[in-house]
Amino acid sequence: MTRYLLDTNVFIQAKNLHYGFDFCPAFWDWLIARNGAGEVASIEKVADELQAGGDDLSDWASARGKDFFLPPDDAVASALVQVSAWATGQTYEPAAIATFLQVADYWLVAHALAHGCIIVTHEVPSDSTRKIKIPNASIGLSITCITPYEMLRRERARFVLGRSAGVP
């Protein structure tokens, strides 16, 4: 079974742009349903970032709990060491490494590494040494990393409008 782990930016951009709660609730329902099937999740550190927003997304994340936003386990703790070793072994600036090791991205990469998950993010690889991007870490650690649109297509998600009264 494929387990997709969603980055913070997937939720934020969905809410702010393409899948607002007010006009595309099907996207959010799909996430909940796919989570119930064991296919889509995120991590506790992402929930922490979302809940800091104090908005509808914060409320949505709070309502999902640990079934959706997974806490770290022993395997993740072991993987953190590998991810840290990878990050410090690259040519990133010390500030970039320090920042990466303090944010949810670090934990997301470690969770994916520990459990063989696919990371879903809007981030793209970068040659910059000033910030460690999830796709760069994924490439360096042989983790599959895709966009939300790739995930939705792979899973054949469909958000179809129902017929409204008076509309042919």
Q: What residue ranges do the domains of the chain occupy? A: 4-154
State mean pLDDT over 17-23: 94
CA-based nearest residue to 44, from 62, 66, 28: 66
Rounded Cα distance, 144 and 135, in Å: 9
Question: Looking at 39-43, 146-150, 162-166, which range is the least confident one?
Answer: 162-166
Q: What is the dihedral of CA 101, 103, 104, 108, to 10 degrees?
A: -20
Q: What is the pLDDT of residues 92-150, one digit of tens each?
A: 999 999 999 999 999 999 999 999 999 999 999 999 999 999 999 999 999 999 999 99
Rounded Cα distance, 89 and 66, in Å: 33
CA-based nearest residue to 28, from 13, 14, 49, 45: 14
- Decide: 131 and 99 in contact? Cβ < 8 Å: yes
Q: Which has more pLDDT, 160 or 45? A: 45
pLDDT at 167 over 60: no
Superfamily of segment(s) 4-154: 5'-nuclease (3.40.50.1010)
The pTM of the whole model exceeds 0.75: yes
User: What's the confidence (pLDDT) of residue 5?
Assistant: 98
- Decide: 113 and 82 in contact? Cβ < 8 Å: yes
